[in-house]
Structure 1
Amino acid sequence: MIFIILDILILISLILMIIKLILGPTAWDRVLAFASMSSKISILSIVYAINKQFYVMIDIIIIFLVLNLWGVVIISRFLERSGKND
C-alpha cells in the first residue's frame, strides 16, 4: 500500500516537472527540470524494483543516474560557453 501512495506522489511531482520543462522561462530552468525529471524517474524505478524484488535493476538505475549527471554537466557547459539564457 505504501508503494502505491509513493508512486502516486512521485508521478504527481513528475507531471509538475514536465510542466516546468515546457514552460520554463530560461534554458537553465529547463536543464534543472530535466535533471529533476530523470532523478524522479530513477526514484520511481527504484521503488518498483524494490517492490517487485528486481534487485539487479538497481545497478542499471545507478548507471542511468551517472549518465544523467554527465548529460546535465555537458548541457550546462554548453549553455555557459554559448552565453544563451533562452
Structure 2
Amino acid sequence: MVMERLNSNLYLQNCYIMKENERLRKKAQVLNQENQALLCELKQKLSKANNSEAKKSATNIPDLNMSSTSNPNAPSSSQP
C-alpha cells in the first residue's frame, strides 16, 4: 500500500515535470525564433550602414584618373 502511494506520487511528479519541460521547450523555440529574426534585422542594418559608409568614403576619395592628364613621373616625349 505504501509503495503504491509512493508510486502514484512519483507518477504525478513525473507528469508535472514532463508538462513543464514541454512548456519550456516551446518557450525556448519562440525565443530562438525571435533571436534569429533580430539577428537577421541587425545584419541587414549593419550591411546598410556599411554600404552607406562605403559610399561616403568613395565620394571623399578623389578619382586620380579624372585629375590632370600630365604625370610628373611619366617620361616626356619631347626629351631625346
Same fold (TM over 0.5): no
User: Normalised by the shorter chain, which TM-score bucket?
Assistant: 0.3 to 0.5
- Larger Cα-atom Rg: 2
Alignment TM-score, normalising by the size of structure 1: 0.34
Alignment TM-score, normalising by the size of structure 2: 0.37
